């Protein structure tokens, strides 16, 4: 088939490679969403939009001198961009304000906007909560095009909440007990977490999860936008190992980033609260049956 | 330097890959009569054979389109790290002393990748990437390359559009490629994730763009489309692509 008779670009993927070629038929009849691009229409370039003014009022620490903020905007959105539960400079010097501004303000915001754009075009997926949307679009391992952006929105929300100013130190109470039970000791866990993060190749995330079936804690890694939600485990903590998460502060020095995260940023309070909530679904203990 | 790398590529394509494990077997092999490969304990300097090849221009030569700082980190730390880690991994094994392309094919192991693959492929990819750029690059290709582009894409602008699309939509880390498909004998645009490169797919690579975030974060932060446009407008070396195309055709005809 000669190039000249098709203005449609078809993608065929196998494992980690995608080939581009001209489609044999127009996109509407190709039947595979996201696998056919109409070269005459502008591309939905996901997650790489430049900074647009925020759709909510920022507090003093985050106010921007952006003249566009004053323009009235017709905002229609399905999912919102949630700010981190602390100011942008609250994690200094371990994670700089600049990183928060770019990571949250551009990357995370870009994912939210792309997701809303997808849903604006075709809202067959309208009405789900974000968790449900992720499971649905993951489609049992054959993800729909919305999956990546939806999951990245959720992942980043979760990540900001996995950190706190004055974080680090040790977990307490039930979480510490559970870690000691499942890893031997906290320092074993810490070592394993750090090593897992450093041996992850490419972009991805490292998680502390509560495994539903095995009723124990475990460390998991995922690539790109995958999250333990899709195989029904319960995440308690995450660490973003995409290069954009640490490049401005640490450049290629991943080891320092991961160590700093464990020592100064990780929010054990958040992990403890998540584990407490998870225990509504997973019974971690032996039932204490009173003796008559 | 471009021709040197091109001829090593050509040699791997003209002979089917065979190696005789003389000293030891990698654990997946079925030659049970041979002892398994074990790393010799080595102290002091690492002597395995893969070198860190510098780009064919000074580190500040691509300013202002790709900053010196980027080159210093991207080549000086990332690329160097891959080389060092690869040498550590292959030291004392049968992959040691093999050519880089052979290591890539052996460790790719038909998809069931061995630990050395990521490092080996990244070393190769980065060398190829530096040589795909030049100071004062950009412009348009000419001659046979332009003819083939017009034949296979319709126009140069169509190729640019496709290449930009591939590079922009590669989610996560990866590479965008222009390759010469050996079976169909035509130019194709590919994108691949992490370290995968067309050598393991049997295509002949002609051009690549690194879209791992470390390649553009210092200069462009999250604005990958701007990085891609800058690469295509100001950095790409169509001369290198033309030479590689010639070598590809020569090696295919030589079969």
pLDDT tens for residues A104-121? 999 999 999 999 998 888
Residue B143 structure tokens: 């001659």
Q: Least CB-CB distance to A244: which of B78, B188, B213?
A: B213
Contacts of B212 in chain A (CB under 8 A): 202, 243
Contact by Cβ (8 Å): B176, B167: yes
Percent of chain B topping pLDDT 90: 71
In tens, the pLDDT along B32-90 reads 555 555 544 444 555 668 999 999 999 999 999 999 999 999 999 999 999 999 999 99
Residue-level pLDDT at B157: 96
Write down the pLDDT at residue A126: 81
Q: Note the pLDDT of residue A186.
A: 96
Beta strands, E only, A24-176: 36-38
Q: Which residues of B64-103 are buried (b: 16+ CB within 10 A; e: fewer)?
A: ebbbeebbebbbeebbbebbbbbbebbbbbbbbebebbbb
Residues of chain A contacting residue B217, judged by C-beta atoms under 8 Å apart: 243-244, 247-248
How many whole angstroms separate alpha carbon A149 and alpha carbon B84? 35
- Reported as a pLDDT band with limits 50, 70 and 90, residue A76 is low
Which of A6, A202, A226, A250 to mutate to test binding with chain B, by most B CBs within 10 Å of its CB?
Answer: A202
CB B107 within 8 A of CB B196: no
Q: How far is CA A1 from the centre of its chain?
A: 41
For residue B188, CA distances in Å to A7, A245, B205 come to 16, 33, 10
Q: Which residue has the tokens 């997973």?
A: A282
Q: A residues 135-174 near B, CB within 8 Å?
A: 148
Measured distance CA(A48)–CA(A107) in Å, rounded: 7
What local confidence, expressed as pLDDT, does residue B31 receive?
47
Is the pLDDT reported for residue B13 higher than 60? no
At B90, is the secondary structure helix, strand, or coil? helix
Q: Is the dihedral of CA B243, B145, B55, B90 positive or negative?
A: negative
Query: Closest Cα of chain A to B230: distance in Å?
Result: 16
How far away is chain B from the Cα of A216, in angstroms, using its nearest Cα? 29
pLDDT of A127 over the 60 cut: yes
Select from B168, B172, B190 the Cβ nearest to the Cβ of A224. Answer: B172
pLDDT value, residue A39: 64
Nearest CA-CA distance, residue B37 and chain A, Å: 23
Q: What is the pLDDT of residues A164-213, one digit of tens each?
A: 999 999 998 889 999 999 999 999 999 999 999 999 999 999 999 999 99
Q: How many CB pairs under 8 A join A and B?
A: 107
Closest CA to B138 of B61, B234, B238: B234
Q: Output the pLDDT for position A34.
A: 56
Check CB contact of A109 with chain B, cutoff 8 Å.
no
CB contact under 8 A, A18 and B191: yes
Considering only CA atoms, which of B67, B219, B212 is closest in space to residue A248?
B219
Contacts of A3 in chain B (CB under 8 A): 151-154, 158
Whether the per-residue pLDDT at A243 is higher than 90: the answer is yes
Name every chain B residue with its beta carbon within 8 A of the beta carbon of A102.
221-222
Mutate to test the interface with A, among B122, B150, B169 (most CBs of A within 10 A): B169
Type and span of the H or E element at A20: strand A17-22
Tell me: pLDDT of B218 over 90: yes
Taking the Cβ of residue B85 and every Cβ of chain A, the question of whether any pair is shorter than 8 Å is answered with no
In this prediction, residue B137 has a pLDDT band, given cuts at 50, 70 and 90, of very high
Asked if residues A45 and B213 have their Cβ atoms less than 8 Å apart, the reply is no
Structure tokens at A228: 């333990």
DSSP codes, B47-76: --S---PPPSS-TTTTTTTS-HHHHHHIII
Cα gap A20→B191, rounded to integer Å:
8
Query: pTM above 0.80?
Result: no
Question: What is the rounded average pLDDT of the residues A116-142?
Answer: 87
More confident position, B230 or B16: B230
CA angle A135, A140, A144 (to 5 degrees): 70
Share of chain B above pLDDT 70, in %: 80
Minimum Cα–Cα distance from B111: chain A residue: A15
Q: Which of B84, B110, B171 has the most A C-beta neighbours within 10 Å, making it the best mutation to test the interface with A?
A: B171
The pLDDT of residue A21: 74
- Indicate the range of A89-103, A122-136, B74-88 predicted with least confidence: A122-136
Nearest in space to B228 (alpha carbons), one of B170, B179, B172, B142:
B170
Structural contact between residues B176 and B205, judged by C-beta atoms closer than 8 angstroms: no
Is B100 in contact with B120 (CB distance < 8 Å)?
Answer: yes
- Looking at CA atoms only, how far is residue B125 from chain A in angstroms? 14
Asked whether A10 and A26 are in contact (CB, 8 A), the reply is no
Yes or no, beta carbons of B192 and A251 under 8 Å apart: no
Sign of the CA dihedral B94, B98, B100, B106? Answer: negative
State residue A291's pLDDT score. 83
What pLDDT is stored for residue B76 in this prediction?
96
pLDDT (0 to 100) of residue A135: 94
Q: Best mutation site among B126, B172, B179 for testing chain A: the one with the most A CBs within 10 Å? A: B172
Interchain contact, A48 vs B221, CB within 8 Å = no
Per-residue model confidence (pLDDT) at position A65: 52
Comparison of pLDDT for A230 and A28, the residue scoring more: A230
Asked if B222 lies within 8 A of A148 by C-beta distance, the reply is no
Q: Is the pLDDT of residue A66 over 70?
A: no
Decide if B136 contacts B174 (C-beta within 8 A): no
Q: What residues of chain A lie within 8 A of the CB of B189, using their CB?
A: 19-20
In terms of C-beta distances under 8 Å and separation of at least 24 residues, what long-range contacts does A109-112 make, across chains too? A109/A49, A109/A51, A109/A52, A109/A54, A109/A81, A110/A46, A110/A47, A110/A48, A110/A49, A110/B222, A111/A46, A111/A47, A111/A149, A111/A152, A111/A153, A111/A156, A112/A77, A112/A79, A112/A80, A112/A81, A112/A153
Identify the pLDDT of residue A289. Answer: 81
Which of B154, B158, B217 lies closest to A244 in CB terms? B217
CA distance A290 to B186: 77
Asked whether the beta carbons of residue B195 and residue A201 sit closer than 8 angstroms, the reply is: yes
Establish if A41 touches chain B: CB-CB under 8 angstroms. no
pLDDT surpasses 70 at A138: yes
């Amino acid at each position: 088939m000669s190039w000249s008779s098709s203005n449609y670009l078809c993608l065929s993927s196998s494992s980690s490679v995608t080939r581009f070629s001209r489609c044999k038929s127009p996109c509407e009849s190709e039947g595979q969403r996201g696998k056919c691009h109409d070269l005459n229409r502008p591309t939905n370039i996901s997650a790489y939009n430049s900074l647009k003014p925020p759709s909510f009022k920022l507090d003093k620490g985050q106010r921007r001198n952006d003249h566009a903020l004053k323009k009235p905007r017709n905002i229609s959105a399905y999912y919102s961009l949630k700010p981190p539960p602390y100011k942008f400079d609250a994690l200094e010097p371990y994670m700089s304000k600049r990183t928060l501004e770019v990571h949250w303000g551009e990357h995370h915001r870009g994912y939210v906007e792309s997701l809303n754009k997808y849903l604006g075009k075709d809202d067959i997926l309208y009405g789900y909560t974000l968790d449900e949307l992720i499971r649905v679009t993951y489609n049992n391992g054959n993800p729909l095009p919305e999956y990546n952006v939806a999951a990245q929105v959720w992942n980043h929300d979760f990540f900001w909440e996995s950190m706190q100013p004055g974080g680090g130190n040790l977990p307490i109470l039930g979480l510490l007990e559970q870690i000691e039970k499942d890893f031997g000791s906290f320092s074993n866990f810490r070592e394993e977490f750090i090593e897992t993060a450093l041996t992850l190749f490419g972009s991805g995330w490292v998680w502390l999860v509560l495994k539903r079936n095995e009723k124990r804690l475990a460390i998991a890694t995922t690539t790109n936008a995958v999250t333990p939600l899709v195989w029904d485990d319960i995440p308690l903590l995450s660490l973003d190992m995409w290069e954009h998460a640490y490049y401005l502060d640490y450049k290629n020095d991943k080891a320092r980033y991961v160590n700093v995260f464990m020592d100064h940023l990780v929010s054990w309070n958040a992990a403890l609260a998540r584990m407490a909530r998870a225990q509504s679904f997973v019974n971690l203990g032996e039932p204490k049956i009173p003796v008559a | 330097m471009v021709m040197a790398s091109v001829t090593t590529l050509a040699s791997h394509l003209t002979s089917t890959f065979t190696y005789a494990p003389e000293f030891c077997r990698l654990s997946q092999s079925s030659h049970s009569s041979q002892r398994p490969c074990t790393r010799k304990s080595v102290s002091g300097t690492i002597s395995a054979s893969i070198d860190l090849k510098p780009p064919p221009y000074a580190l500040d030569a691509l300013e202002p389109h790709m900053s010196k700082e980027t080159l210093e980190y991207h080549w000086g730390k990332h690329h160097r790290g891959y080389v060092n880690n690869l040498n550590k991994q292959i030291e004392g094994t049968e992959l040691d002393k093999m050519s880089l392309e052979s290591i890539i094919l052996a460790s790719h192991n038909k998809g069931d990748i061995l630990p050395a693959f990521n490092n080996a492929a990244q070393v190769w990819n980065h060398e190829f990437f530096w040589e795909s750029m030049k100071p004062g690059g950009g412009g348009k290709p000419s001659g046979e390359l332009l003819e083939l582009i017009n034949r296979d894409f319709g126009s140069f602008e169509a190729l640019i559009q496709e290449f930009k699309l591939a590079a922009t939509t590669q989610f996560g880390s990866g590479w965008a490629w222009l390759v010469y498909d050996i079976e169909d004998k035509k130019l194709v645009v590919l994108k691949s994730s992490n370290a995968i490169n067309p050598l393991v797919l049997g295509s002949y690579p002609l051009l690549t763009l690194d879209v791992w975030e470390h390649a553009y974060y210092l200069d462009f932060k999250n604005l990958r489309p701007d990085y891609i446009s800058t690469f295509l407008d100001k950095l790409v070396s169509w001369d290198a692509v033309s030479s590689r195309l010639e070598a590809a055709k020569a090696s295919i005809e030589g079969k």
